[in-house]
Amino acid sequence: MYIVELTAIDTFINQYQLRETKVKMGDEPVNVKEYQELAKQALPKMYYDYFAGGSEDQHTLRENIDAFQRIIIRPRILVDVSKIDMSTTILGYKTSSPIMIAPTAMHKLAHPEGEILTAKAAAACNVIMGLSFMSTCTIEEVASSCNAVRFFQIYVYKRREISTLMLKRAEANGFKAILLTVDTPKLGRREADIKNKMIAPQLKNFEGFVSTEVDDSEGSNLEAFASRIFDPSFSWKDIAWLKSITKLPIMIKGVLTREDAIKAVEIGVEGIIVSNHGARQLDYVPATISVLEEVVAAVQGRVPVLFDGGIRRGTDVFKALALGAHAVMIGRPVVYGLAAKGEYGVRRVIEMLKDELELTMALAGCPTLNDITRNHVTTQIDNHHCRL
């Protein structure tokens, strides 16, 4: 991830401006997939591969998307859908739809203005934004850029005082919740980054505390950096420490099993995010949509369950809600929109998914989110039970 000379960043900015002009000349995208194609055109290969890639064989990366195609919608007819209401609350904060921006790292690799533009788009669309611990804009810059409701994602470092400082800065700047990522004791093996000898800029949030400059002579320096700073000893017992240093609600991000969901509720977290880190950590774990019901059943409504991984269509959002998610997070689509068309691109990605969800709800006979039920979808498990 990590240190790049200023001349390299300036070169990227100049290249971005030229590519952005070329992208604007093309046809307006009509879906998220087309934004991904534009992002591929706009970004240097190293940065596109960083955002788009997964770990090892990328089996889970493909499954995160493909698994949605095996879920079938069961629409109901002759329902009054003249008015569709997609509004909801997440941890008590109102949002225009059950779509939230996931915390993803280093947005300045997608656009020179980075997370500031993402936050402005979130505010314009009235959705909640998750800001990454590894953002390229500072906590303060993002907070002062707009009035969007913001949650802050953290990792726990070996030097706990750094995580504590970042958390306190988030609190002081009006962030409303903590998203604790728990699936990264070590960094997954991302082979595209190794081949590309992935590098990225120094992260401003950590200036004076952590240098991201490490030896990358054998490939990407991501793994070396993570090994140096991430705390592989962080465990369930340490959640009490985290709760002791913040008054903000904590959601755990990275849950894939009923056992961990039950444990998370028992230790008192305020929410669970079903996530496999965008298939960037352990390969051959399940697609998140395939384990969502298992987690929801284990939680039994005691805390909200959010969903992260593979959302590319409004129908995907609908399917996740039908299987019990309170809301969904979108990560890569936001980055693709940012890379292709800046703040406008992020807004359009969010608006596309909202528009597609609204249409899906109407055609499925669901005027409100509460009307979306398990009976509105059929999964492979259902088909298996029918055959039995």
- Both tokens assigned to 251: 């959601």
Count H helices and E strands in the chain, helices first.
Answer: 15, 12
| Ramachandran region, residue 208 (left: φ > 0; alpha: ψ -120 to 50; beta: rest) | left
What angle, rounded to 10 degrees, do the helices at 45-52 and 332-364 form?
A: 50
- Both tokens assigned to 151: 């949650």
For residue 283, give the amino acid letter. D
DSSP character string of 293-311: HHHHHHHTTSS-EEEES--
Could you give the CA distance from residue 112 to residue 137 in angstroms, rounded to a whole number? 10
Matching residue, tokens 């609204």: 358
Run of H or E including 250: strand 250-255
Could you give the CA distance from residue 35 to residue 254 in angstroms, rounded to a whole number? 26
- Both tokens assigned to 75: 């629409």
The phi, psi pair for 210, rounded to 5°, reads: -135, 130
Matching residue, tokens 């400059």: 213
Residue 254 labelled as part of a binding site: no
Run of H or E including 378: strand 377-378
Residue 311 labelled as part of a binding site: yes
Residue 190 labelled as part of a binding site: yes
Q: Which of 217, 254, 215, 210 is nearest to 236 (CA)?
A: 254
Residue 104 labelled as part of a binding site: yes
Residue 160 labelled as part of a binding site: no
Active site residue 277: yes
For residue 194, give the amino acid letter. I
Which is the catalytic residue, given 59, 107, 111, 277? 277
- State the burial class of residue 191 (Cβ atoms within 10 Å of its Cβ: 0-12, 13-18, 19+): middle
The two beta strands, 150-154 and 178-181, are: parallel
Task: Please list the residues that pair with 272 across neighbouring strands.
Answer: 252, 305
Residue 331 labelled as part of a binding site: yes
Residue 105 labelled as part of a binding site: yes
Residue 315 labelled as part of a binding site: no
- Both tokens assigned to 387: 């055959």
- Both tokens assigned to 6: 């200023």
What residue numbers does the annotated binding site cover? Answer: 50, 103-105, 132, 153, 155, 181, 190, 253, 275, 277, 280, 308-312, 331-332
What residue numbers does the annotated binding site for glyoxylate cover? Answer: 50, 132, 155, 190, 277, 280
What residue numbers does the annotated binding site for FMN cover? Answer: 103-105, 153, 181, 253, 275, 308-312, 331-332
Residues taking part in catalysis:
277
